[in-house]
């Protein structure tokens, strides 16, 4: 519909412009005849205005017919006729203006002007007839298309009605099946809910039993650790009694070292607190307890200040106990050898991950340093440090001895690299289990 309206509007505009060209051509001819009869310049004004207007009108026609080659050719023919008319009229007007009126009148009485006007009228008529015919053909095509569109719409509407009936029938069947399925599902749901309630009650009872067993096992483990610690404390006391009764200095030194190591292991077992999984423990809390016991055992005659910096880490109970024993040996070694002739001192202890996320145990003192006395290698090569080295090898690396950063004391560094490898292996194993499931 919109295309048809646009087409009619375009046809109307073409007809207006062509009629305007025809009227302007007649005005040019009439103004020439009036001027030749009266020599009045007012006719020349009409003549000049008509020439300007007809040129613009022809330009508009060219734009309107550029998509139609046949009509564009007729417009060019009309332009040529109008230009010939303008030349012929201009020639006679110039003769009259020069005072040669008789020659101008004689030329007008010839057939050339009439022939041009007749040709122009025929061409304009052909242009209008062709445009009317094309418009009628386009309207016929549009009406034909409208007819088929109407027929197609009717067929589509009928198909939609049939399809709607089919869908309605199918929906009714599906609704009936859905209702029957819902009835079956409700029955199954009731049975399933009953089974779930029964199973939930059973699981609740089993969970209560498992919780009681877990608590019992936890109490047994804690009691076992405490009993082991007490037994080791008894052994330590017996070693102390034996030490006081021994007169040989070498034997006394050996008994003292044995007592201290037994005391360290005893402290580690008594202070160990397992987590909820009964396999891990907080290493920072455990090491704080170990240092507290060592501080209490020093006595009031020596002022040894401890500085700690522990990251909260959960490790296996076995590894936590081993780290506690290593720490006890290192602190005991520092107390014995780092402060000769001094009652005051500082021992710094830290356990934090390094840049590679490997936990690192560092024990540092502000004592005399481990290289101060030439030939005195008891602090590094004694039995205690051999024990420390063997325990540290369980974590993948040996302890590193060096000078403290801010003092002349000793700095011992222990990297626990195997803990990271174990954690990576456990993570990979869990991922494989999850993928298998």
Judge whether 117 and 25 are in contact, CB under 8 Å.
yes
Our separate counts of H helices and E strands in the chain read 11, 7
- On the question of pLDDT at 161 being above 70, the answer is yes
Question: Where would I find the H helices in 276-316?
Answer: 283-298
Question: What number of residues does the chain have?
Answer: 437
Question: Where would I find the H helices in 98-111?
Answer: 101-108
Q: d(Cα 203, Cα 201) in Å, to the nearest integer?
A: 5
Bridge pairing between strands 359-365 and 314-316 = unpaired
Query: pTM for the whole thing?
Result: 0.45
Considering just the CA atoms, what is the radius of gyration of the chain in Å?
58
The tens digit of pLDDT for each residue in 56-96 reads 777 777 777 777 777 777 777 777 777 777 777 777 777 77
What integer pLDDT is reported at residue 364 of this predicted model?
93
Structure tokens at 299: 């006595």
| Half-sphere exposure for 187 (CA within 13 Å, toward CB) | 5
- On the question of pLDDT at 47 being above 50, the answer is yes
Residue bearing the bigger pLDDT, 119 or 352: 352
Region 269-293 average pLDDT: 75
Structure tokens at 47: 């003549």
Q: Tokens 């005195």 belong to which residue?
A: 376
Q: Tokens 């859905």 belong to which residue?
A: 178
The tens digit of pLDDT for each residue in 335-375 reads 888 888 888 899 999 999 999 899 999 999 988 886 644 44
Q: d(Cα 255, Cα 214) in Å, to the nearest integer?
A: 40
């Amino acid at each position: 519909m919109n295309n048809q309206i646009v087409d009619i509007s375009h046809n109307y505009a073409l007809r207006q412009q062509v009629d305007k060209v025809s009227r302007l051509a007649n005005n040019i001819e009439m103004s020439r005849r009036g001027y030749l009869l009266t020599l009045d310049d007012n006719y020349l004004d009409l003549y000049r205005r008509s020439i300007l207007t007809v040129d613009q009108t022809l330009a508009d026609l060219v734009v309107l017919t550029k998509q139609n080659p046949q009509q564009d050719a007729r417009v060019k023919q009309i332009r040529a006729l109008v230009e010939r008319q303008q030349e012929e009229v201009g020639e006679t007007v110039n003769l009259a203006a020069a005072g040669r009126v008789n020659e101008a009148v004689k030329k007008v009485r010839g057939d050339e002007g009439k022939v041009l006007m007749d040709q122009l009228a025929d061409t304009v008529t052909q242009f209008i007839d062709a445009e009317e015919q094309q418009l009628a053909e386009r309207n016929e095509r549009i009406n034909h298309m409208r007819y088929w569109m109407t027929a197609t719409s009717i067929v589509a509407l009928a198909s939609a009605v049939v399809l709607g009936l089919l869908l309605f029938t199918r929906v009714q069947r599906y609704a009936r099946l859905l209702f029957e399925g819902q009835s079956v599902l409700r029955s199954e749901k009731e049975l399933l809910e009953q089974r779930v309630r029964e199973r939930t009650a059973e699981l609740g009872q089993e969970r209560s039993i498992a919780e009681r067993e877990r608590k019992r096992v936890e109490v047994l483990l804690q009691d076992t650790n405490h009993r082991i610690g007490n037994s080791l404390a008894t052994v330590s006391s017996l070693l102390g009694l034996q030490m006081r009764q021994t007169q040989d200095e070498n034997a006394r030194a050996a008994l003292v070292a044995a007592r201290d190591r037994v005391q360290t292991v005893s402290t580690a077992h008594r202070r160990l607190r397992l987590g909820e999984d009964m396999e891990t423990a907080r290493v920072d809390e455990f090491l704080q307890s170990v240092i507290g016991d060592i501080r209490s055992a020093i006595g009031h005659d020596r002022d040894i200040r401890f500085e700690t910096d522990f990251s909260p880490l959960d490790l296996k109970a076995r590894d936590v106990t081993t780290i506690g024993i290593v720490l006890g040996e290192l602190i005991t070694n520092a107390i014995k050898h780092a402060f000769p002739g001094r009652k005051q001192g500082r021992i710094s202890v830290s356990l934090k991950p390094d840049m590679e996320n490997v936990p690192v145990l560092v024990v540092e003192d502000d004592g005399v340093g481990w290289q101060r006395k030439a030939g005195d290698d008891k602090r590094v090569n004694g039995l205690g440090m051999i024990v420390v080295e063997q325990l540290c090898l369980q974590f993948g690396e040996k302890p590193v001895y060096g000078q403290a950063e801010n003092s002349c004391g000793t700095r011992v560094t222990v990297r626990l690299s195997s803990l990271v490898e174990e954690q990576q292996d456990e993570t990979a194993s869990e991922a494989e289990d999850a993928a298998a499931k």
